[in-house]
Amino acid sequence: MSVLRWIRRNLIVIAGLLTLAYMILPNIVVMVFSFNKPKGRFNYAWQQFSLDAWEDPCGVADLCGSLSLSLQIAFWATLGATALGTMIAFALVRYRFRARGAINSLIFLPMAMPEVVMAASLLTLFLNMGAELGFWTVLIAHIMFCLSFVVTAVKARVMSMDPRLEEAARDLYAGPVQTFVRVTLPIAAPGIAAGALLAFALSFDDFIITNFNAGSTVTFPMFVWGSAQRGTPVQINVIGTAMFVIAVLMVLVGQLIASRRKSNARN
Amino acid sequence: MSVTEAPPAPPAEPEEPRKLTLRKPSTRKRLVPYWLLLPGILWLVVFFALPLVYQASTSVQTGSLEQGFEVTWHFQTYVDALREYYPQFIRSLLYAGTATILCLLLGYPLAYLIAFKAGRWRNLVLVLVIAPFFTSFLIRTLAWKTILADGGAVVDVLNTLHVLDVTSWLGWTESNRVLATPMAVVCGLTYNFLPFMILPLYTSLERIDGRLHEAAGDLYATPATTFRKVTFPLSMPGVVSGTLLTFIPASGDYVNAELLGSTDTKMVGSVIQSQFLRVLDYPTAAALSFILMAIVLLMVTFYIRRSGTEDLV
């Protein structure tokens, strides 16, 4: 009976941990199967342990090319979306202007629309303009859908900034440019960084919009999609696992540095 | 033209009280917000709003790829598209709706755990929630093929417990397999969009003052009553934005339906994709996409109105 009571008391914790397990399970499968040596073309059933794929991660034609293309697109899309989005966020928080409502909805709508609708409509535009589908159309699309997320992230930070800090800078004879570079930008930096990170992740992992607008250009998600039809090489799991491990390590190191700094500041 | 005439970097200027300024702010200064907005807004107008107009026009065109398409106000396309593909529409809304409810049921305890119970483990659990993002979602979705494989551990357990007998009777699965059935698709959708539910839930739960729980307890509320009357109402903003962030992308998704489902589980996203990229019947594809947009926007507007949270933007 006491077991039942213990379960009842910790019901929320148990349910939460089960959800966590549900979320982590596929990552574990991806990791384990990166050491698999499948028999056929598909890497869905366990055969035997092997390090083959890890020793030769680029051993599949076009795989690493698609990966580097995805990284390039994500880099430029992040840069573009962060620059444009930060400017919009500052304008929204700091200035008064006409048509604010319309502009707010224009920024909100891309986030409230199924991706496939944006993808399809953008493709009709490109087809009508006779644009050649490829790197540039994908980049344009990625900047478009990352923009709103950057605006939201930066806006939250700029809204919480204390305007008196900038007034103080101006009182101390800093010019508008100097005030912006030395005071405003450093305070807004965490918001901008968060927006940029989000944009990078969204762009790098995007499939639906890319699938419509890439033509014959193959990004990493499109390579994975294609391989789901033709045969999944183990190398996909290797790259997925490596990305996972690198990202988690970066987060942990960042946490460590942050807590170190905090304890230093306290001393 | 001097250097200073270039649009200046946004100076952080709080509005000065009118009384103290002797003259109106110069035209240049009044134009600053417009210069800041211009490039980004232009981008959204040209590559987001304008395409919707093009799509609307495409949906009422007739013609063929060889002879070109022409606007003929052929609204029959909408009727035909709905008549032919209404099962996919209903399926999309049904699957997305089920996945959203499942996300809420699964995500709420975890968000609650992180906000109130995790203590010093909080950051670690948060990292674990976000961590799956770092592996491409297509790879992770493919992993479900392994997990739900025929004769795999999950199917065996469900079979032994006779769960599959019940679910196959309900039409969710087949009697001995999960893969390529509606359950697999919903399972994949739920999995893919869980973080979008958990993070907003966590944000709004974390803001709740813990003393409110104590106060409720002091006033003889049972834990269940405290949850029903205090915690849950206060977390409503998270519930609303979490359900939207889950339902909207899930309704247009075709990745899960294609990878984990069969031809009997195709969602409307699959149809739009194949009409556009393989069949090349642009008017039908545009009409389908427009109907999907209208349905989702209507549902979202209605939902936001009902729940009274309009400050999502």
- When the pLDDT of each residue in chain B is averaged and rounded to a whole number, the result is 86
Residue B120, pLDDT score: 83
Question: Is the CB of B32 less than 8 angstroms away from the CB of A121?
Answer: no
Domains and CATH numbers, chain B: 3-59 (no CATH), 76-307 (1.10.3720.10)
B200 Cα to chain A: minimum distance (Å): 14
Residue A204, pLDDT score: 93
Q: Which residue of A has its CA nearest to B144?
A: A26
Does residue B12 have a pLDDT over 60? no
Residue spans per domain, chain A: 2-50, 61-232
pLDDT (average), residues B138-161: 90
How far CA A163 is from CA of A93, A95, A159, A169, in Å, comes to: 11, 13, 9, 10
End-to-end C-alpha distance for chain B, whole angstroms: 40
Residue ranges in chain A modelled with pLDDT below 70: 1, 266-267
Identify the CA nearest to B138 among candidates A239, A123, A21, A197: A239
Question: Is the CB of A29 less than 8 angstroms away from the CB of B143?
Answer: yes
Q: Which residues of B touch A33 (CB under 8 A)?
A: 143, 146
The identity of residue B47, as a single letter, is F
Question: Is the CB of A26 less than 8 angstroms away from the CB of B44?
Answer: no
- B10 part of contact set with chain A, CB < 8 Å: yes
| Confidence category of residue B3, pLDDT binned at 50, 70, 90 | very low
Residue B153: Cβ-neighbour burial (10 angstroms; 0-12, 13-18, 19+): exposed
The identity of residue A165, as a single letter, is L
Q: Which residue of A has its CA nearest to B247?
A: A114
DSSP state of A120: H
* Region label for A173, one of left (φ > 0), alpha (ψ between -120 and 50) or beta (otherwise): left
Q: Which residues of B touch A125 (CB under 8 A)?
A: 47, 50-51, 54
CATH superfamily of A61-232: MetI-like (1.10.3720.10)
Per-residue model confidence as pLDDT tens digits over A66-113: 999 999 999 999 999 999 999 999 999 988 888 888 999 999 999 989
Residue A251, pLDDT score: 81
A73 Cα to chain B: minimum distance (Å): 15
Residue A41, pLDDT score: 85
| Confidence category of residue B61, pLDDT binned at 50, 70, 90 | confident
Q: Which residue of B has its CA nearest to A104?
A: B313
Residue B247, pLDDT score: 95
Identify the CA nearest to B147 among candidates B121, B175, B183: B183
Residue A267, pLDDT score: 64
Alpha carbons B76 and B63: distance in angstroms, whole number: 13
Per-residue model confidence as pLDDT tens digits over B79-113: 999 999 999 999 999 999 999 999 999 999 999 99
Q: Among B8, B10, B289, select the one facing A120 at the smallest CB separation.
A: B289
Percent of chain A with pLDDT over 70: 99
pLDDT (average), residues B35-58: 94
Residue B224, pLDDT score: 86
A170 Cα to chain B: minimum distance (Å): 9
B169 Cα to chain A: minimum distance (Å): 25
The identity of residue B173, as a single letter, is T
Number of CB pairs, chain A paired with chain B, less than 8 A apart? 278
| Confidence category of residue B24, pLDDT binned at 50, 70, 90 | low
Q: Which residues of B touch A117 (CB under 8 A)?
A: 252, 289-290, 292-293, 296
Percent of chain B with pLDDT over 90: 49
Interface-testing mutation among B24, B27, B30, B44, with chain A (most A C-beta atoms within 10 A): B44
Question: Is the CB of B147 less than 8 angstroms away from the CB of A117?
Answer: no
Question: Is the CB of B273 less than 8 angstroms away from the CB of A163?
Answer: no
Does residue B301 have a pLDDT over 50? yes
Question: Is the CB of B11 less than 8 angstroms away from the CB of A30?
Answer: no
A49 beta partners: A36
The kind and range of the H/E element at B62 are strand B61-64
Question: Is the CB of A113 less than 8 angstroms away from the CB of B37?
Answer: no
